Amino acid sequence: MEKQFVIIGLGRFGSSVCQELHALGHEILAMDLTEERVDAMSEFATHTVRANGTDERDLKALGVRNFEHAIVAFGEDLQASVLCTLMLKEMGVSNVWVKARDRQHQLILEKVGADRVIQPEKEMGIRVAHLLDSDKIVDYIELSKDYSIIELIASSQMSGKTLKQLDIRAKYGCIVLAIKRFEDVNIAPLPDDEVVKGDILITMGHRKDLRRFEEKGL
Ligand code: ADP
């Protein structure tokens, strides 16, 4: 379903969020202080405008209060990003996601009501470390401190066996949510579905169980 987003700050982070949301078919109001950044996003947003995210009049004039989702994508100036977040929440924007530069910034943003705080470099660093840690992990999503979803490559020792035979849930406490085979994705696979070498198993579980499955089960 199409949603409306306002993106404030069109640096590397904001512009990549903008391009991806545009590709997903959403409506976007993209704003930045500089004309150059605004122009660069003109083909990826429904409306682009040069405006200041810390200026209440600018935000009001642009009807930002009518948006359900806002992304505050400038993080270097802590005071400005906190002020912008505060104003968006006061205007009634229900979902405000904000980029933070560090932990202290994150804590302040949470205090003023940010609905989600993102530290892109930190989050990406964690993701990359997990990918580097194992040859078998293709992708990694952290659900909480203890639980994650990882994409694992099925080895030849699993090949030709059904999920029931592999008994991954009982042996390792992990759940196979989907099996990817080239372009096909088998969502919620059944016990009799077979695994073939090279399949990607999208698997959810506790960190420790996933590690055990990766080391012993694959
Ligand atoms: P990144 O690390 O994602 O590239 P930058 O800090 O380089 O982020 O870019 C942030 C962008 O946000 C810049 O294009 C800058 O012009 C814009 N920006 C900074 N402050 C404001 C503001 N108050 N209102 C709107 N845009 C802003």
Cα 100 from chain centroid (whole Å): 15
What DSSP state is assigned to residue 216? I
Please give the average per-residue pLDDT across 140-161, as a whole number.
Answer: 93
Instruction: Give the three-class secondary structure for 23.
Output: helix
Contact 117, 109 (CB under 8 A): yes
Amino acid at 46: T
Stretch(es) of the chain classified as CATH 3.30.70.1450 = 146-216
Question: How much is the pTM?
Answer: 0.82
Q: Which residues pair with 4 in a beta bridge?
A: 27
Burial bucket for residue 158 (CB in 10 Å: 0-12, 13-18, 19+): buried
Distance 166 CA to ligand 1 centre (A): 50
Tell me the pLDDT tens digit for each residue of 1-40.
Answer: 789 999 999 999 999 999 999 999 999 999 999 999 999 9
Res 173: pLDDT: 96
Q: In CATH, what is the architecture of 4-124?
A: 3-Layer(aba) Sandwich (3.40)
The residue whose CB lies within 8 Å of the most ligand 1 atoms, and thus the one to mutate among 32, 71, 87, is: 32
Could you give the ipTM of this predicted complex? 0.97
Cβ–Cβ contacts within 10 Å for residue 88, how many?
A: 28
Stretch(es) of the chain classified as CATH 3.40.50.720 = 4-124
Q: Which CATH class is domain 146-216?
A: alpha beta
75 pLDDT band, cuts 50/70/90, is confident
93 pLDDT band, cuts 50/70/90, is very high
The residue whose CB lies within 8 Å of the most ligand 1 atoms, and thus the one to mutate among 34, 74, 77, 85, is: 74
Pocket around ligand 1: residues whose beta carbon is below 6 Å from it? Answer: 8-14, 31-34, 37, 52-54, 74, 76-77, 80
- Is the pLDDT at 131 greater than 90? The verdict is no
